[in-house]
Structure 1
């Protein structure tokens, strides 16, 4: 039986390229660095994507470590990606998104290397953000609502 849950978030453009994003009761400011036209008050969207991947992998690690008898004394992820800005700025036909994303797990543990390897293989297969990035997802514009400022 399927157990599908719908998650929602909103993004509200402010001055310049600053965006206030909300999900449930939480807010996150997304902005661009000054050299990309922003005010540098928050991560930019592609940095937030990398951070989301690392956070998701960390959460999966915490949830499943005991199943693999892996003791997590410390766990962190460093994530980096290559993006050709010419795609975003419409200067060439290269894709505007990441071409490559790499990550490194730093695991402080007393558990055996064999257990850690099995654990990491499982972890990589269960991270929803990693799966979303790695596999095609159906994305579509639902609708456009033109708000003309006239109240009824």
Structure 2
């Protein structure tokens, strides 16, 4: 018997708007009006960065519990560098993020060394983070006590 999870999202498009259903949850990903969308939700790349923030949060909380780490909360600011020429068909430009910058402020009483240990473990176990690294996206990370 396999321990692997099968993650399913069902989606239906309405022009550039896509309505997604994941289990009992629904969410919309869209493009801005300047791209011909209806601006009803984040665009796909914003959704990826949001998924990264959510995944790092969940992973940090799981790892902190394992480490007996005093984890109160965290704030993340995530930005991605993207060259739209790849999306537009330029064969020498990749159509996804070149670099992603993750700035984390963690609310804790833990010393810097323990924060660094938590960061290392999160970055090695977070599924979205490791997927971006595997795609050779340059990950620029800063974790600091708030």
Q: TM-score range by the shorter chain?
A: 0.7 to 0.9
The aligned counterpart of 1:72 is 71
The aligned counterpart of 2:138 is none
* Number of aligned residues: 134
Q: CA RMSD in A?
A: 1.6
Q: Whole-Å Cα distance in 2 between the matches of residues 5 and 106 of structure 1?
A: 31
The aligned counterpart of 2:128 is 129
The aligned counterpart of 2:10 is 10
Q: Whole-Å Cα distance in 2 between the matches of residues 55 and 62 of structure 1?
A: 11
1:30/1:42 contact within 8 Å kept: yes
Q: Indicate the structure whose relative CO is greater, using CA pairs within 8 Å and at least 6 residues apart.
A: 2
Q: Whole-Å Cα distance in 2 between the matches of residues 2 and 127 of structure 1?
A: 21
Q: Whole-Å Cα distance in 1 between the matches of residues 7 and 44 of structure 2?
A: 18
The aligned counterpart of 1:49 is 48
TM-score (norm. length: structure 1) = 0.81
Between structures 1 and 2, the one with greater strand share: 2
Q: Unpaired segments of 5 or more residues in structure 2?
A: 136-146
The aligned counterpart of 1:62 is 61
Q: Whole-Å Cα distance in 2 between the matches of residues 74 and 25 of structure 1?
A: 27
Q: Unpaired segments of 5 or more residues in structure 1?
A: 137-152
Q: Whole-Å Cα distance in 1 between the matches of residues 98 and 41 of structure 2?
A: 23
> Bigger radius of gyration, 1 or 2?
1
Q: Whole-Å Cα distance in 1 between the matches of residues 70 and 98 of structure 2?
A: 34
TM-score (norm. length: structure 2) = 0.84
